[in-house]
Structure 1
Amino acid sequence: MKLSTLRVVAVSAMLSATAISGAAFAENPMVGGAPMLETKDIIDNAVNSADHTTLVAAVKAAGLVETLKGAGPFTVFAPTNAAFEKLPAGTVDNLLKPENKEQLAKILTCHVVAANALSTAISKMVADDGGAHPVKTVGGCVWTAKYEGDKITLTDENGGVANVTIADVVQSNGVIHVIDAVLLPKM
């Protein structure tokens, strides 16, 4: 083979390898206008989502960054900025104050499960439990997972309901499910 032919073959092979490796990451949906890479942890992906700036600020204020960068596995039900905006006026600002760090940490850890629960696993648990599955969180809350059509819903201890709007965002240390409401524990 001529040198120029070898170069074409080598470049073609590199492009094919890039397309194949890129396809592995294409399975994860975009969140907040950013790619969510399976090779990054929950925090490293979340900071890139324009839809999760409030959540990221809250995680930092609660001192949970290192925890969520840990090995996991974690399943995080991640409220969007719009979800936080549904809370009564002033709630987020109040929770972000240093004197409310413990309450904020409780709320946030009630959005985390110490497992890697993809939607298929949640679906099976809901079906096995007759249509409603109790979800025990790291923060000690128990939510109720159900399916409405093809969407997962979570009901908190106060009767509030969050819908999973983007499921199965795989991370290096778990999975994120984007939700449209903040789940609140009984206080």
Structure 2
Amino acid sequence: MKIRSLLLLEVLLTALLASLSFVHHPSGDIVDVAISSSDHTTLVAAVKSAGLVQTLKGKGPFTVFAPTNAAFERLPAGTVETFLKPESKPQLTRLLTYHVVPGKLDATSILKAIRKGNGQTTLTTVSGGKLTAGLSGNQVLLTDESGNLATVTTTDLKASNGIIHVIDRVVLPN
């Protein structure tokens, strides 16, 4: 009976670990954490194409709003392919740095800023653009400069040089 219980526990733990999209590496940087996620292969390819790997491996700290592969798939057909072309590197860099905010903003600090701002707070991105964070029920929503909404689906994935929050849409600068 004890062996069956241990086997069942092992199966459950294996299933739980397999269901996690991120493998948490407390000593890993932002790039290492993103690479460990099967849900962020498009983001990782874009970061490499834009030449931002060394920047995001830097000291930071950074807060990254990381769109999933499904978020990139929601863009119009051909958008990702166009952005990954060498001649599109400046636009890709601007798009990606629009998803990064200087500093380490965990979910608690973002919620505190939203409450202090009477329901919303403006975040200035590394690209110089603005994202507005607000609440809809219990969910944090980001509004980009064009009025598009992204929902924060996972918070506080810690890295050695910052923090990652997963979002369900690609946010777009003006």
TM range (shorter): 0.7 to 0.9
Whether contact under 8 Å (2:22, 2:34) holds in the other structure is no
Following superposition of structure 1 onto structure 2, how do residues 7-156 of structure 1 map, counting pairs within 5 Å?
33-156=21-144
Which ranges in structure 2 are unaligned for 5 or more consecutive residues?
Answer: 1-16
Q: Offset of 1:183 from its aligned partner?
A: 0.4
| Structure 1 residue 166 corresponds to structure 2 residue 150 | no
1:123 maps to amino acid: L
Identity in percent: 54
Q: Normalization by structure 1: what TM-score?
A: 0.82
| Cα offset, 1:36, TM superposition | 1.5
Change (3 A) 1:109 1:130: same
Match of 1:180 in 2: 168
Alignment length, in residue pairs? 158
Q: Distance in 2 between matches of 1:139 and 1:162?
A: 18
Q: CA deviation at 1:147?
A: 1.3
Kept in 2, the 8 Å contact 1:32–1:51? The answer is: no
Q: TM-score, normalised by structure 2?
A: 0.88
- CA pair 83-119 structure 1, distance change in 2 beyond 3 A: same
The alpha carbon displacement at 1:33 in A equals 3.0
RMSD: 1.5
The DSSP-based 3-state class of the residue aligned with 1:140 is coil
Question: 1:32, 1:52 within 8 Å by CA — same for their partners in 2?
Answer: no
Q: Return closer, same or farther for 1:49/1:167 CA change in 2, 3 Å cut-off.
A: same
Mean CA deviation greater in 43-52 or 80-89: 43-52
